[in-house]
Structure 1
Amino acid sequence: MSLRIKAVVDRFVKELKEALDADIQDRIMKEREMQSYIEEREREVAEREAAWKAELSRREAEIARQEVRLKMERENLEKEKSVLMGTASNQDNQDGALEITVSGEKYRCLRFSKAKK
């Protein structure tokens, strides 16, 4: 009888060890799958972040280019404005002539006429 009990206990211990080994293997597989999933997600996030940073950098460069262009346009406008403001001046001459200075040359206009359409 004791041999029979020992055989039952031995079989029970063997089955328990097999079940534990199977459970350990299952947990190891799940851990590997989870780690693989985490690594893939981290790669995806890193790729999106790199793409976002590249787009941000591109936009910042475009803004800088536009600011330079705007500054140049503003400077040109100021130059044109100063030229235009300084070139035509009504001198309140006795004859009512308008004096215009273009590139340092003075011109007098005595009569005005409507532009033809």
Structure 2
Amino acid sequence: MSVRIKAVVDKFVKELKEALDADIQDRIMKEREMQSYIAEREREVAEREAAWKAELSRREAEIVRQEARLKIERENLEKEKSVLMGTASNQDNQDGALEITVSGEKYRCLRFSKAKK
């Protein structure tokens, strides 16, 4: 009887070990699959982040270029206005002279007269 019980117990222990080994192998496979999935998702996110940062950097560089171009255009416009129109300012001088600045050159007009018809 004890040989039979021992055989049943041995068989039970053997089946239990096989079941545990199968469960361990299944868990190891699932863990590997999960790690693989996580690594793939992290790679995808990193690629999207890198693409987003590159696009952001490109846009920031374009904004800087456009701001520089706008500044140059504004400076050129101011130069053109200065050349075309000159800047006049009525100085409250003792002699009442009118000062006009054209292209950085100052001119003073002391006397005004009407143009002849």
TM over 0.5: yes
Shift of residue 81, structure 1, vs aligned partner: 1.2
Q: Secondary structure at the match of 1:92?
A: coil
The alpha-carbon distance between structure 1 residues 107 and 82, as it changes in their structure 2 partners (threshold 3 A), is closer
Percent identical among aligned pairs is 95
Q: Residues 72-91 of structure 1: matches in 2 within 5 Å?
A: 72-86=72-86
Shift of residue 84, structure 1, vs aligned partner: 2.1
Q: Could you tell me the TM-score, scaled by structure 2's length?
A: 0.74
* Cα distance in 2 for residues equivalent to 1:63 and 1:42: 31
* Cα distance in 2 for residues equivalent to 1:115 and 1:60: 57
The alpha-carbon distance between structure 1 residues 29 and 110, as it changes in their structure 2 partners (threshold 3 A), is same
Count of residue correspondences:
117
Unaligned runs of 5+ in 2: none
* Cα distance in 2 for residues equivalent to 1:13 and 1:93: 117
* Cα distance in 2 for residues equivalent to 1:3 and 1:88: 123
* Cα distance in 2 for residues equivalent to 1:41 and 1:13: 41
* Cα distance in 2 for residues equivalent to 1:30 and 1:114: 101
- Could you say what the CA RMSD is over the residues aligned between the two structures, in angstroms? 5.8
Shift of residue 75, structure 1, vs aligned partner: 0.3
Q: Secondary structure at the match of 2:86?
A: helix
The alpha-carbon distance between structure 1 residues 112 and 16, as it changes in their structure 2 partners (threshold 3 A), is farther
* Cα distance in 1 for residues equivalent to 2:36 and 2:47: 17
Shift of residue 66, structure 1, vs aligned partner: 0.2
* Cα distance in 2 for residues equivalent to 1:116 and 1:47: 79
* Cα distance in 2 for residues equivalent to 1:104 and 1:97: 18
CA contact (8 A) 2:88 2:99 kept: yes
Q: Which residue does the alignment assign to 2:38?
A: 38
Unaligned runs of 5+ in 1: none
Q: Could you tell me the TM-score, scaled by structure 1's length?
A: 0.74
**Runs of 4+, deviation exceeding 3 Å:** 87-117
The alpha-carbon distance between structure 1 residues 106 and 75, as it changes in their structure 2 partners (threshold 3 A), is closer
CA contact (8 A) 2:82 2:102 kept: no
Shift of residue 67, structure 1, vs aligned partner: 0.6
**1:22-78: CA deviation from partner (whole Å, max 9, x where unpaired):** 000000000000000000011001100110111011001100110111001100110
